[in-house]
Amino acid sequence: MATLTPVQPGQLITADFMNSLIGAIGALQTAVAQLSGNTSTGTISVPSVFGRTFAQAKAIFATPTLQLTIGGVVDVNGVAYAVNGTQGANNLVIGQFPQPGTLVAPGTSVNLVLAATSGSVAQAPVITSTDVASQQVTATLRIFGQNFAPLFSDNVVKFNGVQALVSALSSISTLIVTVPAGIPGAPVKPTDPPLPSVTVTVQTPAGTSAQSTTITVTAPPAAPTPVVQSIQETPGVVGQAMHIVLANFPAQPTINSVLFDTISVAGASTAIAAGAGGTFIVTVTVPAGITGVTQSGSSRAAVPIVVTANGAALASFPENLTHL
């Protein structure tokens, strides 16, 4: 495989570099194909099976040279069909994804939509189980069953009547949902007791699950404690900038002070990772006058540094300091 030299900011990307990159990607594709037992390279154009019967579509995709498979199969009423079964063999294909002519990798699954069999009626959803018996508020739960709606947003999942968010990664046999906040009696704080026997129901355009299931809803996880994660300069140098990395702040912290042993100085933080559990860099100048680091050439190991953020002092973080 070609060796690539990283491009620096502002540097021109040459034709030689792009050709090397293309060659490296091609070599990687070949290596992955060989590891998976598929020696074919490149992409495959998805054939059109519109207007074919389901049986004819299966015969087309079974062609050894095609290297594509059939994934999920449902009719317009949401009734699912087994790929290897005989049900719906004469139903016409009226939709497929990816669309005909799409270039895909070998082994890609193509999902089909069939015309409905005469008398075909979508069945109400059936819940058979969940992946766990208890789950935290705002955590992910998988619900297994049958006859879930093919379009994820057509599935309405409720926990004791409170609607949950359904993931787009759900399928007709598995719903991936987020245990909602706001369930009456459910824990709110990490120290609250769990709520047992929470009823989970699924509703689709075809009806509501006749048999529900229950889980225990447990408390949400405690927020991580804000900490000093690391110091980028080792050792720190008196009179020069020091960058202190803070972690686990849900919003940009207010830096009240940075204490070097007994000397307090001001500092300002800059976000380097947004969102909950955010990471921030505090920029501060290492002050003069620290005991043991007052003369040129002197140094001191494990000087305690404490950052006070949002009015709370974080744990002492010892660092080596030197005076040039």
At residue 127, the pLDDT reads: 95
Pairing verdict, β 312-313 and 299-309: antiparallel
Q: 180 or 117: which carries more pLDDT confidence? A: 180
d(CA 175, CA 155): 8
Structure tokens at 105: 């990798």
Q: What is the pLDDT of residues 119-133, one digit of tens each?
A: 566 788 999 999 999
Q: What is the pLDDT of residues 236-268, one digit of tens each?
A: 899 998 888 888 887 788 888 899 998 988 877
Q: 34 or 175: which carries more pLDDT confidence? A: 175
Average pLDDT for 129-148: 94
Give yes or no for residue 76 having a pLDDT over 60.
Answer: yes
Cα angle, residue 153 at apex, residues 151 and 154 outer, rounded to 5°? 70
At residue 74, the pLDDT reads: 85
16-30, 147-161, 162-176, 289-303: which has the minimum mean pLDDT? 16-30
Q: What is the pLDDT of residues 89-100, one digit of tens each?
A: 888 888 898 888
At residue 276, the pLDDT reads: 46
Cα pseudo-dihedral 24, 27, 32, 33, rounded to 10 = 150
Give yes or no for residue 200 having a pLDDT over 90.
Answer: yes
pLDDT band at 274 (very low <50, low <70, confident <90, very high): very low
d(CA 116, CA 75): 5
Query: What percentage of residues in the chain have a pLDDT greater than 90?
Result: 31
pTM for the structure as a whole: 0.49
Instruction: Name the 3-class secondary structure at 309.
Output: strand
Average pLDDT for 8-14: 64
Structure tokens at 192: 């609250």
At residue 18, the pLDDT reads: 67
Average pLDDT for 269-291: 76
pLDDT band at 34 (very low <50, low <70, confident <90, very high): low
Give φ, ψ of 123 to 5 degrees.
Answer: -95, 150
- Token pair 């949902």 is at which residue? 177
Give φ, ψ of 11 to 5 degrees.
Answer: -80, 145
At residue 187, the pLDDT reads: 94
C-alpha 90 chain-centroid distance: 40
Query: What percentage of residues in the chain have a pLDDT greater than 70?
Result: 83
Mean of all residue pLDDT scores within the chain:
84
Structure tokens at 52: 């074919």
Cβ-Cβ contacts under 8 Å for 39 (sequence gap 6 or more): 33
